Amino acid sequence: MTRITELSTVTIERIAAGEVVTRPASVVTELVENALDAGADSIEIAVENAGLDLVQVADDGHGMTEADARLAVERHATSKIHDVDDVERVATLGFRGEALPSIAQVARLELTTKAEESGAAGTRVVVDGEEKTTGPAGRAVGTTVSATDLFANTPVRRKSLATPKREFARISETVSDYALTHPDVRFSLTHDDRTVLSTPGSMSYTDAILGVYDREAASQSTVFRRGDEDEGGDNQSSDGVSVSGLVVYPSITRSTPAHVTTAINGRALDDTTVRNAVTRGYGSLLPDDRYPIAVVDVALPPEQVDVNVHPSKDEVAFADPDAVAEVVEQAVSAALATQDLAHTGEIAFDLDSSLGEPACESTFDAIGVIGQFRDLYLLCEADDDLLVVDQHAAHERINFERLREALDDGIDSVPIEPTSLSLTAAEAALVDANAEALDALGFRIEADSGAYRATGLPAPLGRVAEPSAVHDVLDAFLAGDGPENPREELLKDVACHPSLKAGDSLTGEDAARLVERLGACEQPFACPHGRPTVLTIDEETFARGFERPNTRFD
């Protein structure tokens, strides 16, 4: 029985215009989503030359009959929706019926498929320019789609792509996101005949994290589920919203929120509402300017989320975003509340060196420290004002300027015993793409048969960075083509980790030295990341608060 039908003109007009295929990663996205919609338990992705020569996705889903295969390469032909009403309640990842014909416009497309009811033989459909051919083919039940010579007929677009290594990093990120959010499906990604990612499809988020990240992240994590299927009234979510996933303990963090992987009804996308709710769920457990590693899949009735709001399906619109955020935040908070997150470790800061005599006059010479609040804020008296100093932000600014002043000639690198680096497939591709920039920052990284190890680390002022610092630098590259000044980004990170933290009690003498040294900084009123270091409360504010209208201010 034919599953695929051509959509009516009325239905087509209700669908947001689909974006043409713009890069190899978008081909991978479309084909992986088709495979998931087909009920696949296993999806194998193979690419050559970062997808420019070949993108191939093979699955063991339900496959297609010959009639369906012929229709599948026609525009606006799909099995996902049938009429205009279905657009308002899309329950699948694909629904426009444009994926295969859009790919065929920019590549040679070959579709090999077989459905259970097809008998002994399957079907092969080839689209090469304007020519379409169909014939029998041997294959088990499922579908394989191959796109070769991507953008060969549109050289301007091919020339506008990033480097092959950067394009492959995008592919790796795409596959990683779907592997994490679909732990019930076995994924493998091969690049130029080398397997760079593999997950077992065991239905375990922990196993998926192990396949994409590493054993450390997997061992320091907990899975959670919250929603209508849970037992007990306390876990019932409103309006059918449920959430499941995994959170990694706050002892392992990253410098950007990109490692909070989100999905809406199985569709992997960067959703700000959900990401922000996850971060709020961690509460005060996260250090300043750090973000968690987490996987969160939100499930809700199709009519409560509009997936037809963005040409490339990169965004969705919730009917009630606040309700979704509340469920996610509560689920993450509850998952972490049941875990013993205590960890021990030596506080890595050196007050004697960073709070030495300032090289120039301090603008805070006349300030007197009168106390410390919550082992985080220093209370200071300055003429008629009360100053509140964030001791972590202040110490971070001091360390950053010391590092920057001392490293005009570059960042030293010290050799270390070869240390294995656990990199995601996307991170590994970024190491290859930014080898020179990493070397200039003091990272010495060697690659051997897909394994990466650090043989040298940056050591500004003799303080050797942790091998894990490479993750933060790579995150900066992942956020764009690269930070404007990667050296400064590294120094900000190196300055942050040894600085005072909340809960670090200071003696009166050390507190006074901290304030004095802050006053000698070039920019004493903000930390390297832009957060304020000092708040001022004048005496007039106190007078108004205590209703003293007759107080004189000299």
**For 257-282, what is each residue's pLDDT tens digit?**
999 999 999 989 989 999 999 999 98
Which residues, listed in sequence order, are joined to residue 56 by a DSSP beta bridge?
Answer: 46, 146
Per-residue pLDDT at 346 = 29
Handedness of CA 376, 379, 382, 385 (dihedral sign): positive
Q: Are 197 and 176 in contact (CB under 8 A)?
A: yes
Q: How far apart are CA 217 and CA 422, in angstroms?
A: 10
Integer CA distances (angstroms), 539 to 534, 536, 551, in order: 16, 10, 10
DSSP secondary structure code for residue 466 in this structure:
P
Identity at 355, one-letter amino acid code: L
Indicate the pairing of strand 534-538 with strand 385-390: antiparallel
Residue 14, Ramachandran bin (φ over 0: left; ψ between -120 and 50: alpha; else beta)? alpha
Per-residue pLDDT at 85 = 43
Q: How far apart are CA 11 and CA 497, in angstroms?
A: 55
Q: How far apart are CA 92 and CA 81, in angstroms?
A: 9
Q: How far apart are CA 95 and CA 470, in angstroms?
A: 40
Per-residue pLDDT at 342 = 44
Please report where in the chains the tokens 């399957």 appear, as a residue: 122
Local structure of 381: helix, strand or coil: strand
Identity at 525, one-letter amino acid code: F
Q: How far apart are CA 210 and CA 219, in angstroms?
A: 8
Please report where in the chains the tokens 């029985």 appear, as a residue: 1
Integer CA distances (angstroms), 16 to 9, 90, 111, 305, 309, in order: 13, 13, 26, 15, 7
Q: How far apart are CA 393 and CA 399, in angstroms?
A: 10
Indicate the pairing of strand 194-200 with strand 242-248: unpaired
Local structure of 218: helix, strand or coil: helix
For 315-418, where are the alpha helices, taking DSSP H only?
321-337, 351-354, 391-406
| Structural domains of the chain ordered from first start | 9-199 (3.30.565.10), 205-338 (3.30.230.10), 349-410+498-553 (3.30.1540.20), 413-458+464-487 (3.30.1370.100)
Q: How far apart are CA 245 and CA 336, in angstroms?
A: 12
Mean pLDDT split into 10-residue runs, the chain, 554 residues: 50 44 91 92 96 96 89 65 43 60 90 87 91 92 95 88 92 96 96 94 95 90 79 51 94 90 92 94 81 94 73 73 93 84 36 50 80 86 84 84 67 81 88 83 84 82 69 74 57 61 70 86 81 82 72 56
pTM of the model: 0.68
- What the block records as the tokens of 56 is 């191939």
For 265-320, where are the alpha helices, taking DSSP H only?
272-282
Local structure of 360: helix, strand or coil: coil
Contacts 24+ apart (CB under 8 A), 202-209: 205/180, 205/244, 205/245, 205/246, 205/295, 206/246, 207/183, 208/179, 208/180, 208/183, 208/246, 208/295, 209/180, 209/246, 209/248, 209/293, 209/295
191-205 burial, b at 16+ Cβ within 10 Å, e below that, comes to beeeebbbbebeebb
DSSP secondary structure code for residue 49 in this structure:
G
- Residue 490 φ/ψ, nearest 5 degrees: -65, -45
- What the block records as the tokens of 216 is 């450390």
Residue 344 class from Cβ within 10 Å (0-12 exposed, 13-18 middle, 19+ buried)?
exposed
Residue 283 CB neighbour total at 10 angstroms? 13
- Residue 227 φ/ψ, nearest 5 degrees: 160, -165
Taking alpha carbons only, the member of 357, 351, 372, 364 closest to residue 508 is: 372
Per-residue pLDDT at 526 = 81
Where is 546: in which H helix or E strand?
none
Q: How far apart are CA 267 and CA 306, in angstroms?
A: 12
- What the block records as the tokens of 22 is 């713009």
Q: Are 116 and 90 in contact (CB under 8 A)?
A: no
- What the block records as the tokens of 330 is 């509560």
Please report where in the chains the tokens 């903000």 appear, as a residue: 526
- What the block records as the tokens of 334 is 């509850």
Q: How far apart are CA 494 and CA 57, in angstroms?
A: 42
Instruction: Determine the length of the chain.
Output: 554
